[in-house]
Structure 1
Amino acid sequence: MPGLYFEELEPGLVVDHPTRRTVSETDNVLFSSLTLNLAPLHLDAEYSKDSIYGQRLVNSLFILGLVSGITVPETTQGTTMGNLGFEKVTFPKPVFHGDTIHVRTEIVDRRESKSRPDTGIVTFRHLGINQRDEIVCDAVRVGLMQKRPEPAATAQA
């Protein structure tokens, strides 16, 4: 399914994204290493077993990227002009190796762009939810979305 245009992203619309992703140890170690986040809570099993979690945590920025990415096919693929930013991001519950994440998106708000008449600004709320139905990521973001193109004018004879 292609992304939705500004006109289709009405406040109150809820999309339960069909893609689910089980997070692996490799995902966590690779992402943490690539981003130079060498916190032992992500990488060191011996250190982490004495933490309040009793095991390593998956890097929260990986989870934010995963949650955002899962939403693309049903909301913004081919219809976005860009991500304008995140207004709020929280991680109410930790994510561990082997957790499976699915995402629900709600359209919170939208408005016409003041400077670009062919676009609008949409506020999305993305909830990352694990297999226990716990919210593990709550992200509110704003995107610049294309309006539906006008049909081509037919040539007059």
Structure 2
Amino acid sequence: MMRYFDDFELGEQWPIGKTYTMTKDEIVSFAAKWDPQPFHVDEAAAEKSVYGTLTACGTHIQAVVLKLAQGLPHETAVIGALGYDEVRFHQAAKLDDVLSLTIECIETRPSSSKPDRGIVRNRHTLVNQAGDTVFTQTTTLLIARRGG
């Protein structure tokens, strides 16, 4: 099912059914390439850190959000992403955390210059297995209108 700008409703939420587990191999390999801080890549150093265990780097967490968002029950007529705002790391994503995502529509507005599209802002909330918020961000998307 394709969703267009006209189909989005303010306050609508989509809890993603799939989860993502933060494994040692993935935390270390991702961070080794993109953010090789000791608490991301060295288990002994991570145990001595304020976290007490390996933690995923921020870029890895954002990648997990994008991966989980693919689990939406619908396809969206996205023309393009306009930005990620209000990016917040509330707490570390730790080794063996099981993460889940909920997406909420927080704003819709038709384009003022092109009637065939509109702008949708969604809030992404990533939580761990205890229900603690790990990460939030607001995503702004340009989405085609139905019949546009």
Q: Same fold (TM over 0.5)?
A: yes
Q: Give 2:114's aligned residue.
A: 116
- Of 78, 89, 93, 1:80 maps to 78
TM-score (norm. length: structure 2):
0.90
* Aligned ranges 1:1-157 → 2 under 5 Å: 2-35=1-34, 37-74=35-72, 77-149=75-147
Amino acid at match of 2:61: I
Deviations 1:33-79 (CA, angstroms, capped at 9, x unpaired): 232x1111100112111111111111121111211331234277351
Percent sequence identity over matched residues?
25
Are 2:47 and 2:54, in contact at CA under 8 Å, matched by a contact in 1? yes
| Greater shift in the superposed pair: 74-83 or 59-68 | 74-83
Secondary structure of 1:133's aligned partner: coil
- Provide the aligned length of Structure 1 versus Structure 2: 148
One-letter code aligned to 1:17: I
- Secondary structure at the counterpart of residue 95 of structure 1: coil
**Match for 1:68: what amino acid?**
L
Partner of 2:83: helix, strand, or coil?
A: strand
Contact 2:4 2:76 in 1 (8 A): no
1:155 maps to which residue? none
Q: CA deviation at 1:116?
A: 2.6
Alignment RMSD, CA only? 1.8
Q: Shift of residue 149 of structure 1?
A: 2.3
TM-score, normalised on structure 1? Answer: 0.86
Larger of the two Rg values belongs to structure: 1
SS in 2 for 1:74: coil
- The letter of the residue matching 2:25 is T
User: Aligned to 2:28, what secondary structure does the other structure show?
Assistant: helix
Instruction: Indicate conservation of the 8 Å contact 1:9/1:107, yes or no.
Output: yes
The SS at the match of 1:49 is helix
d(CA) in 2 for partners of 1:97, 1:146: 39
Task: Provide the rounded CA distance (Å) in 1 between the counterparts of 2:6 and 2:71.
Answer: 17
| Residue identity in the other structure for 1:8 | D
Contiguous gaps of at least 5 residues in structure 1? 151-157
Q: Deviation per CA, 1:75-128: give whole Å up to 9, x if none.
A: 773511111111111111211121111111110001111233211100000100
Partner SS, residue 131 of structure 1: coil
